Amino acid sequence: MDFPEFFCYVSILACLFPIMVNSIGINYGQIANNLPSPEDVVPLVKSIGATKVKLYDADPRVLKAFANTDVEFMVGLGNEYLDKMRDPTNAQAWVKENIQPHLPATKITSIFVGNEVLTLNDTSLSDCLLPAMQSVHAALLNFGLDKQVTVTTTHSLAILQTSYPPSAGAFREDLMDPLCETLNFHQKTGSPFLINAYPYFAYKGNPEQVPLDFVLFQPNQGVTDPQTHLHYDNMLYAQIDAVYSALASLDYKKLPVHISETGWPSKGDEDEAGATPENAEKYNGNLIKLMSGKTGTPMRPNSDLNIYIFALFNENMKPGPTSERNYGLFKPDGTPAYPLGITPNNVVGRNTTVGGGSFGNAVTNPYYPMSSSTGYMSISSARQRYQLLGHVVLMVPLLIIKTLV
């Protein structure tokens, strides 16, 4: 498809899905050699109603292309920059070069410093995380930008020691010191707590036992938290509430939780159960519909769902299994990777109590792989160095699964 056809198709999409999204976020990865230019991506993002974009670097081409579009941006600083950003002088220079020139035309609202650092089992990185966050925040303060741009970091669900029932959510004891340091930073600066959550991996790890309808937001009997008596009929919402419980146990009840990544692949290898266009359509389509309905989780029904779907495009240069290259809502030519399927009949009804669940205990193992819940690569826009990150899977105990089947 050439670009005149591309824009024609985007126009059709805008007509087909005018009420599809309410303040949804999208992850815009660029590990590919066949993506459209950032200028051509702007109408595509707008066509699906996305109002927030998460970028894995601070690519000036993208930030310039989205100027005056009113789309909010979260930009990233890769793990390879953490040591350098400990130095306030370096952080000041980075903010001056990568953030300040694009404001206020481009609505940069947040910078995430590091990706899932605390679960990488690498003290050389984790020791740098808080100082790097503090230096970037100080730089924003010096430029008078701290009120409009927050500083945060992303976490894998592997930071949880216990995740079922959601009311018993608790963080890993071995991560408590560095985690509490970052939580104090969030509380003081007003920045959100970011979690990457993928029910897909629970299903992939145990497809014979994990009910597919439960992870795809399809009608199912669900489970009830024995402590709170709250009902959960999808896994993602229970994962979110487990995080809320873990935060509350440390007296951070008011800290906002944002889901910085979640998604479902439309294609996978033979051993990647569930990676099909049909399942991706159901997961992302149902999630979008739920978000547009302004429903919170069972534990926080009145809280906004701030969720970034992974990802905008299929990315053909990502290493790893086939699924890694097939998380996109769209192919590089702008056509859908699968029908988005936003119809009332395909979605859990507004009258149904919805939830989600990271069932069981996320047992602390002596070794956690260098990991990202997506296997995404953190990109350095300055040097284009890539760091591959693996997967984290929270499994579902057999006893709990049996209540769902």
Residue numbers annotated as active site: 116, 261
Tell the residue number behind the tokens 């000041």, with chain if given.
92
Best CA proximity match to 118, nearest among 70, 174, 161 = 174
Instruction: For residue 292, give both structure tokens.
Output: 């547009």
DSSP state of 361: B
DSSP string for residues in 48-84: TT--EEEESS--HHHHHHTTTS--EEEEEE-GGGHHH
Rounded distance, CA 233 to CA 244, Å?
17
Say whether 154 sits in a helix, a strand or coil: strand
Contact 319, 372 (CB under 8 A): no
Best CA proximity match to 118, nearest among 153, 143, 146, 93 = 153
Q: Is 201 left (phi over 0), alpha (psi -120 to 50) or beta?
A: alpha
DSSP state of 191: P
Rounded distance, CA 330 to CA 4, Å?
17
